Amino acid sequence: MKKILKLNYYLSEKVWGYEKWILSTHKNGISFICDEEKNLLEYLGEELPIIIKEIRANETLSVQVHPGDEYSKKYEGDNGKTECWYITNAKEGASIVYGIKEGITKEELLEDIENNNVEKILENVYVEKGDMIYIPSGVVHAIKGDIELIEIQQSSDVTYRIYDWGRDREVHVKKALDVIDFKFDNTKGIMKNFKILETPYFNVKKINVEGSYEDKTSNKFHMYICLNGNGIIKEINGEEISVSKGESIYIGKDSDYLFEGNLEMLKVY
């Protein structure tokens, strides 16, 4: 069984753009393995705790929130959803929704929803290429248009829509109000010049290879998303695989590996 796998995505088209599920064993979208007949879940024989997506937003996504583990398992039979976004491309002046105005109460938000006044209580944050945004469960958020990003999240597909900018899709107001963190500090979680993010569910690190980079897995897999450059990866004394911009590499447990070349990557572990 190979320890190093080049992955291919599951494509999910949306009214606002698309998602490419580049690492997933979730039932709603399982990733594929290049040059293998089995999908990732069939090949590994076990579910992974995270999903990684490439997202292209041509239009603004719904204003939404995700539940934590306890609520989601009780009501949805799925994991909670803490996530983060690494911005890979953004039009000048692009922004995201990140939280709600300080001091807004549950009762006030419900009134704004009922009166179609949600937009006035949203916090908007300008973003640019290279930013990292950490979004714990309970935080109201939305990706706006003209943004491309890598999303790393718990393995879950539970989303509660609060507001959808006039589109006629289902909203989930009661459940959303149950799980929103009204005390969340909106000044936290926006990282410029990103280097590393550590969370209870996953870690993300920016890796720049100029020549060679050696590492090893132990009891956890590693995942790499190539943002720029070209090179190779190989198990020590093993077969090598080419790596270039836009490609993703999964490395299984108990593996010593080596990158060679000039590469800018996100490491997820």
Domain 203-268 sits in CATH 3.40.50.2300: no
Q: What is the spatial distance between Cα 106 and Cα 180, in angstroms, rounded to a whole number? A: 8
* Ranges of the chain with pLDDT below 70: none
Q: How many CB atoms lie within 10 A of CB 155?
A: 18
Stated pTM of the model: 0.96
Q: How much is the pLDDT for 59?
A: 96
Span 49-194: which CATH code? 2.60.120.10
Q: How much is the pLDDT for 188?
A: 87
Q: What is the spatial distance between Cα 50 and Cα 137, in angstroms, rounded to a whole number? A: 14
Q: How much is the pLDDT for 1?
A: 85
Residues with active-site annotation: 161
CATH fold match for the domains 49-194 and 203-268: yes
Domain ranges of the chain: 49-194, 203-268
- The beta-carbon contacts of 100-108 under 8 Å, at least 24 apart in sequence, are 100/140, 100/180, 100/182, 100/186, 102/186, 104/182, 105/182, 106/177, 106/180, 106/182
Q: How much is the pLDDT for 221?
A: 98
Q: How much is the pLDDT for 42?
A: 97
